[in-house]
Amino acid sequence: MQLSGLVAALCTRPVKFSLKKNIEIELKRLVDTGIVTEVDPNITPVEWATPTVNVIKTNGQVSICGDYRSTLNPVLITHAHPVPLFDQLRQKLAEGEKFTKIDLKDAYLQFPIATDSKKYLTITTHKGYFQYNRMPFGISTAPSIFQHFLDKLLEDIPNVAVYFDDIAITGKNDLDHLITLSIVLEKLEKAGLKVYLKECSFFQEEIEYLGHTINKDGVHPTKSKLEAIQKAAPPSNAQELRTFLGTRRNLPKLCNNRLVRWALLIGSYNYDVVFTKGKLNVMADYLSRMPNPHKKPSLSEVLIHKIDTRHQMGKLHDLPISDILRNEVKKDPIVKKVNEFLKTGWRLDNLSEELRPYLRKRCELPLEDKILMWHGRIVVPYSLRNSVMKFLHKGHPGISAMRALARHYVWWPSIDEDIDMWVKRCSNCQENRPNITELPVYSWSIPDDPWERVHVDFAGPFEGKFWLVLCDALSKWIEIKPMSTITTTKLCNELDTSFTSFSLPQIIVSDNGPQFTSQQFQEYCKCNGIRHVKSSPYHPRTNSLAERLVRTLKTRMSASTCDELSSKKRLENFLFTYRITPRTDTGKSPAEILLGRQLRCLLDNIKPNPRRSLRYRQFQANIEHDKEMFYNPGENVYVRSRDDKYWKPATVTRRTHRYSYLINTPVGMKKFHADQIRKQIIEEHLSPPNNTQDSQGMQQNIPTCSKERNLPLASTQPVVQAQFEIIPMRCNDKTPKYSTKMAFKPNVLERSSLPPTVEG
């Protein structure tokens, strides 16, 4: 274990008297099995000591863990190794018929600790000091070391998924499954790892793996999760909700398993838990924001609802772009073949050269909303690559800038080479390419905060204008203002505009131009509490950040003259591309550092966004639902309260809320929810009663019944009109049917539909 510093030993924490006996029993077990060794401080000086956390298991026993968060973890050099996602593991088991699950015994405790590192793992208890001989739970590097070792051990074996101490195995058939299982067990044996047989299962039709049920048909939720949710009583208040979710000691199994996996995942990081007040939480929770259906909305609430509706409608134009991408994916033979291999398994025989780059990344290519992704980047089909390249080159950035932007959104096997050739083939970029060497950057200190130090300069005259350029030293956010004349007064006015948006800087760095050396500008800086630093005369490298920005501005604006856009539009394209392109020195774009978020661009529209699609479907459903649930005052309807057996005719008086109406019923005025109201088709909308064709058609459907029951039939009126009331209803709002009192089928009269006056 490698450390980056030292910390002092901590004292023993007090232990409840009721737990002391169980703790002593567990300590004896750990000593007997060689996991820990008792340390005598009089013989071996204790340089490190960590207090323990004692966790009570379901069987009443105690699990002893060192609380290394306050001692070892802050100074421990991390071991970076990615933890596999469930989607990646699921793909490895996609083509299996039967499944085997292997559980490694004691997980981390099977890994021995180097002799010179044992002193760092000393724990202090009420029984004294104990030193771990094997890797314990709680140290931040344990998850990544354990996962890294198993990944390397079993990486060449197909149809094997490894998630810490849980190993899942499958095969196309029993023979293939058995061969894979034998190889895995042999490798585990050679590595000296033991399995916990009671938790293992072999050749099962389905297994529970990482909180999911996996079988040959795919992944499903476990029965225990579904039963727990179905049988739980719905909470009616905050206290019942807390009881439903569970406390820290008795969380439901559904939540507990997930928390354990999260603890293993985030154990590799140093993090702080910070409390955020509810009023500062931008993600509104359901309970505090749920509307009251019995309360009439205020005018402000109605206005907000209209604004939100228009806002959602404004986003609907994004969806067709993803549809275009999906259609092109279906047509692209390479991407289509990759999708098939991800579902059925990769066949290495006769694999074309175009597919080999995807083969090497096969474990990192999930399908999201029918779109192939790689590390959050869209795998672009061949037919759309030219369009993507045109967008990446918008504003004529260089090779490095285009690559940085592409790494945030899109990928295909030869994307770096294609970007390189695209820039080299752009005649405007080559014609305006500077032939001077890069100016060495003056050694400025790195600011602590964005917009703390701003570099400014003038460019021009260029394209008939002067250009005021500003660049933040930390985020590299740029502001460019075209000016017809450059006086100190106009300079101060333009700076005020930028400072209003991004605050006053602490330092301004400029050259020795007359606008910056004037007494007026010095007074401006003094009044605003800004320190003005001027570069050395005739030595532009002192302000090289602004000097390079001036050169970049001229190069890209000149290269974009062929785009047939106005000067204002070309400047906007340049600024937007520059601000969203990740920097090589920080790995983030200027917008992310200054604003705390990435600016949304066109490529964001084609990335899979389940939340946006769900919001679109919900919005469409709300529109259709509102149409169906709207009733006008004076409209004839049918209503049925909770205690009523049949629908009763009534009239709408007025609408009291979005889904609430005041209804005039035979027994008086009552309030009804829209779910308790149905439209009534008035008699004039029906077919005329003397329609011979309809009458004959209805007579032909019930001749046998009328004879057996001796029901009188009228040849010139609808059948059974004299005996029963026929209420017209609509099925799917399209086909009118006669229902509620009697239902008709060809040559059959449903006996269950007969009114109480008819016996039998």
Q: Name which residue leads in pLDDT, 193 or 294.
A: 193
DSSP state of 758: S
DSSP state of 380: -
37 pairs with which residues across the strands? 131
Q: Is it true that the peptide bond before 461 is cis, omega within 30 degrees of 0? A: yes
Residues 458, 467: Cα–Cα separation, whole Å: 6
560 lies in some domain: yes
Q: Tens of pLDDT along 414-437?
A: 888 888 888 888 877 777 665 544
758 lies in some domain: no
Residue 63, classed as helix, strand or coil, is: strand
Mean pLDDT lowest for which of 36-50, 58-72, 254-268, 552-566? 254-268
CATH number at residue 491: 3.30.420.10
- Same structural domain, 27 and 113: yes
Q: How far is CA 491 from CA 483, 518, 521, in A?
A: 9, 11, 9
pLDDT surpassing 70 at residue 252: no
DSSP state of 118: G
Residue 416, classed as helix, strand or coil, is: helix
609 lies in some domain: no
pLDDT surpassing 60 at residue 702: no
Q: Tens of pLDDT along 554-569?
A: 888 888 777 778 888 8
Asked if residues 354 and 334 have their Cβ atoms less than 8 Å apart, the reply is: yes
Q: With residue 606 as reference, give the H or E element that holds it.
A: helix 602-606
Q: Say how many C-beta atoms besides its own lie within 10 A of residue 675's C-beta.
A: 9
pLDDT surpassing 70 at residue 451: yes
- Same structural domain, 264 and 306: no
**Mean pLDDT value across residues 453-466:** 87
Asked if residues 112 and 220 have their Cβ atoms less than 8 Å apart, the reply is: no
677 lies in some domain: no
- Same structural domain, 460 and 567: yes
Q: Name which residue leads in pLDDT, 723 or 444.
A: 444
pLDDT surpassing 80 at residue 299: no
In the chain, how long is the greatest CA-to-CA distance? 117
Residues 609, 322: Cα–Cα separation, whole Å: 9
Q: Name which residue leads in pLDDT, 700 or 139.
A: 139
pLDDT of residue 178: 92
- Same structural domain, 240 and 176: no
Last residue of a domain, one of 414, 429, 444: 429
Q: How many residues are present in the chain?
A: 760
- Same structural domain, 151 and 99: yes
- Same structural domain, 172 and 34: yes
Identity of the amino acid at 107: A
Residues 149, 199: Cα–Cα separation, whole Å: 22
Output helix, strand, coil percentages for the chain, rounded to the nearest 5. Answer: 45, 20, 35
Nearest 5°: phi and psi at 666? -60, -20
CATH number at residue 409: 1.10.340.70
pLDDT of residue 242: 63
Distance of CA 22 to the CA centre of its chain: 43
Nearest 5°: phi and psi at 489? -65, -45
Q: Name which residue leads in pLDDT, 383 or 731.
A: 383
pLDDT surpassing 70 at residue 592: yes
pLDDT surpassing 60 at residue 689: no
Number of domains in the chain: 5
Q: Which of 284-298, 318-332, 434-448 holds the top average pLDDT?
A: 318-332
Please give the structure tokens belonging to residue 434. 């500077």
> Residue 100's pLDDT band (boundaries 50, 70, 90)?
very high
Please give the structure tokens belonging to residue 482. 């075209």
Residue 31, classed as helix, strand or coil, is: helix
pLDDT surpassing 80 at residue 574: yes
**Mean pLDDT value across residues 101-116:** 85
54 pairs with which residues across the strands? 64
- Same structural domain, 190 and 110: yes
pLDDT of residue 298: 61
Q: Which of 7-11, 539-543, 610-614 holds the top average pLDDT?
A: 610-614
Please give the structure tokens belonging to residue 209. 């793996």
Beta pairing, strands 735-739 & 727-731: antiparallel
Q: Say how many C-beta atoms besides its own lie within 10 A of residue 335's C-beta.
A: 20
689 lies in some domain: no
What are the residues whose beta carbons fall under 8 Å from the beta carbon of 514, sequence distance 6 or more? none
Residue 306's domain comprises 299-429
Q: Which long-range contacts (CB under 8 A, 24 or more apart) does 357-363 make?
A: 357/413, 358/334, 358/413, 362/91, 363/88, 363/91, 363/92
Residues 159, 163: Cα–Cα separation, whole Å: 13
Residue 395, classed as helix, strand or coil, is: coil
- Same structural domain, 178 and 249: no
Residues 602, 321: Cα–Cα separation, whole Å: 9
Residues 104, 102: Cα–Cα separation, whole Å: 7
Crossing angle of helices 223-231 and 253-266, rounded to 10°: 130
Burial class (CB in 10 A: 0-12, 13-18, 19+), 534: middle
Last residue of a domain, one of 588, 604, 620: 604
- What's the half-sphere exposure (Cβ side, CA atoms, 13 Å) at 179? 8
Residues 544, 555: Cα–Cα separation, whole Å: 16
- Same structural domain, 417 and 468: no
Average pLDDT, the chain: 75
What DSSP string describes 145-159? HHHHHHHHHHTT-TT
Residues 393, 399: Cα–Cα separation, whole Å: 9
pTM of structure: 0.35
Alpha-carbon dihedral of residues 43, 44, 49, 55, nearest 10 degrees? -70
Residues 145, 402: Cα–Cα separation, whole Å: 36
- Same structural domain, 412 and 513: no
* Of 128, 141, 134, residue with least CA distance to 49: 128
CATH number at residue 131: 3.10.10.10
Residue 226, classed as helix, strand or coil, is: helix
- Same structural domain, 399 and 479: no
Q: Name which residue leads in pLDDT, 230 or 569.
A: 569
Residues 171, 98: Cα–Cα separation, whole Å: 7
pLDDT surpassing 70 at residue 125: yes
pLDDT of residue 170: 92
121 lies in some domain: yes
Q: Tens of pLDDT along 474-529?
A: 888 989 999 988 899 999 999 999 998 899 999 998 888 888 989 999 999 999 99
55 lies in some domain: yes
% of the chain beyond a pLDDT of 90: 10
pLDDT surpassing 70 at residue 317: no
What are the residues whose beta carbons fall under 8 Å from the beta carbon of 554, sequence distance 6 or more? 432, 459, 462
> Residue 721's pLDDT band (boundaries 50, 70, 90)?
very low
pLDDT of residue 522: 92
Residues 356, 346: Cα–Cα separation, whole Å: 11
Asked if residues 330 and 336 have their Cβ atoms less than 8 Å apart, the reply is: yes
What DSSP string describes 85-116? PHHHHHHHTTT-SEEEEEEBTTGGGGSBPPGG
Residues 43, 23: Cα–Cα separation, whole Å: 24
* Of 481, 486, 478, 525, residue with least CA distance to 505: 525
pLDDT surpassing 80 at residue 712: no
% of the chain beyond a pLDDT of 70: 71
Q: With residue 89 as reference, give the H or E element that holds it.
A: helix 86-92
What are the residues whose beta carbons fall under 8 Å from the beta carbon of 417, sequence distance 6 or more? none
Asked if residues 529 and 458 have their Cβ atoms less than 8 Å apart, the reply is: no
Q: Tens of pLDDT along 528-542?
A: 999 998 876 655 556
pLDDT surpassing 60 at residue 116: yes
Residues 127, 24: Cα–Cα separation, whole Å: 8
DSSP state of 731: E
312 lies in some domain: yes
Sign of the dihedral defined by the CA atoms of residues 467, 468, 472, 477, in that order: negative
Residue 160, classed as helix, strand or coil, is: strand
411 pairs with which residues across the strands? 379
User: Residues of 392-423 as b/e, b for ≥16 C-beta within 10 angstroms?
Assistant: bbbbbbbeebbbbbbbbbbbbbebeebbeebb
pLDDT surpassing 90 at residue 82: no
Please give the structure tokens belonging to residue 145. 């070391």
Q: Tens of pLDDT along 285-296?
A: 444 444 554 555
Alpha-carbon dihedral of residues 186, 192, 197, 199, nearest 10 degrees? -100
- Same structural domain, 510 and 563: yes
Last residue of a domain, one of 604, 619, 651: 604
